Structure 1
């Protein structure tokens, strides 16, 4: 599992920082989460192939999380993209994008599908044979969702030495990978566990930005491998959290600890602070396995 941070700062873009956007790569599939201004430039800069992005997840309709979307959609068309593109986001995102496409007469040459969200309960919004994606309802100034990516269990793995010892033909390997026992011609049964290994462990990733401190999300993200949680403010400015709909680093760490997650990535820093190391310093007092996002960083788990 790999997380590429394209941008992780709040509010407006600067020459040295970018608003929220990141790419999650899990089980050889790639997903774009949020699309702040400048996302396509960051994708190019970090050599992430546009053609591998077929699903885009938008948390909410504040500009620093989706103002880069229409530009990316347009560029996909200019590059003669053949693949369908699916966009998951709050109700209203379809009208916003289609109005821009209509008035600029920039109709896409590929199929563009919108999946608008309005439920206040967690729901399954995307699923294939490798992964399932659920919403994480967040509390912000506008309707907002985080996203939980859960890898599905893979096939069992063949123990080549054991299979060779029992003279099992390769034509039966697929059946064994699916967990079946193998009945031989003489009627004896080779139990699956004697010639296979367990599937590789599954992984999970939770994206939670933007939100106030909200313990209601804990059951949804419990035991995830990696949690990205916004930490807009340091504790000295905690009084700004409720009116702006944001969290502090310590609040993010508290959620991580209570949810028993394995790793925490902090992000969405207010640009009022000149040293983001202060966010980790505060979070470490609550949760040790804390990492700082920064533009261009790649996390591998």
Structure 2
């Protein structure tokens, strides 16, 4: 199964130095999920060939503008481009009011339905489950209510070894049972063990998304052991006081968080406009957690 994330925006607060505000497109088994939607996101989608028509789920972490000000424009473009199928939108409860007011005063009546589910920034909860994954929110610690998101693949069925089942002339209608782990009993009574006819599917992977938060351990239980962690790293550690005042994290702290929680791969983003180049942020995070990458525009990472 495909499981990868494409970075559409990596800047905090404002677009600068060819960096856009936060947005990411997650591809899970060719289904696209948009995480946050900062200003200019739909332009970035065009630039990096992310088709809006394939997005059926949007997740907004909190209501600071650099995480959602591109949303109304994207929703409007979907309407103008003839979208009919429903869109599931997850975010803080006031987001629904913001969208309704925008469309009310622009006299816009969408041709498609927005199925809105309010997130709760005080507790963890499963907000979406389908055949591919579960999505769980968890509380972060920012100046306003803010949630992280954990995207976790579901275990898929076992894979049939085509050559072996064809050699035994096993009926096709028996394949679903094999995929579910059942042994095969031939007409002559011979029993063939399932593990001789199938192989286990790959281990499910997970992607943890931590947008804006001060460093604390309250959310560690939700991200522990994730295959890939995206974590904000707004400042270098020599600006720790500023990070704490604004409820943000340093690159050094992001590395510590990844190391402490046994993460396999760390992506850092949400970079302050004070940094024209990002090498120092990367070096700082890698000093604690070597498998760190910059989550910058246009890069796609396999989870």
Q: TM-score, normalised by structure 2?
A: 0.96
In structure 2, the residue matched to 1:206 is 208
> Is 2:139 the counterpart of 1:141?
no
1:123 to 98, 108, 125: 125
Aligned to 1:11: 13
Q: Cα offset for 1:119? A: 4.5
Q: C-alpha separation between the residues in 2 aligned to 1:28 and 1:83?
A: 17
Which runs of 4 or more aligned residues in structure 1 lie more than 4 Å from their structure 2 counterparts after TM superposition? none
Q: How big is the shift at 1:151?
A: 0.3
- In structure 2, the residue matched to 1:96 is 98
1:242 alignment counterpart: 244
- Cα distance in 2 for residues equivalent to 1:117 and 1:163: 47
1:291 aligns with 2:293: yes
Equivalent in the alignment of 1:272 = 274
Report the equivalent of 2:229: 227
Q: Which of 263, 280, 283 lines up with 1:281 in the alignment?
A: 283
Give the drift of 1:268.
0.2
State the distance in 2 between where 1:15 and 1:238 align. Answer: 23
Report the Cα offset of residue 50 of structure 1.
Answer: 0.9
Query: How many residues end up aligned between the 2 structures?
Result: 301
C-alpha distance in 2 between matches for 1:218 and 1:72 = 33
Seen in structure 2, the aligned counterparts of structure 1 residues 95 and 227 have a Cα distance that, compared at 3 Å, is: same
Deviations 1:70-113 (A, max 9, x none): 00010000001021111100111100101111111111100111
Contact 1:136 1:208 in 2 (8 A): no
Q: Tell whether 2:160 aligns with 1:158.
A: yes
Q: Which runs of 5+ in 1 are unaligned?
A: none
Residue of structure 2 equivalent to 1:71? 73
Task: Render the CA deviation track for 1:176-216: whole Å, top value 9, x for unaligned.
Answer: 11222223333333221120000122111011010011212
Q: What SS is found at the alignment partner of 1:275?
A: coil
Question: Distance between the aligned counterparts of 2:29 and 2:224, measured in 1?
Answer: 21
Deviations 1:220-244 (A, max 9, x none): 1111111000000001101011210
| 2:51 counterpart of 1:59 | no
TM-score, normalising length: structure 1: 0.97
Task: Report what 2:262 is aligned to.
Answer: 260
- Partners of 1:27 and 1:151 within 8 A in 2: no
Cα RMSD of the aligned pairs, angstroms, is: 1.3
Match of 1:200, SS state, is coil
**Cα pair 2:16 2:273 within 8 Å, conserved:** no
CA contact (8 A) 1:284 1:290 kept: yes
* Counterpart in the other structure of 2:26: 24
Distance 2:24 2:229 in 1: 13
Counterpart CA distance in 2 for 1:296 and 1:129 is 28
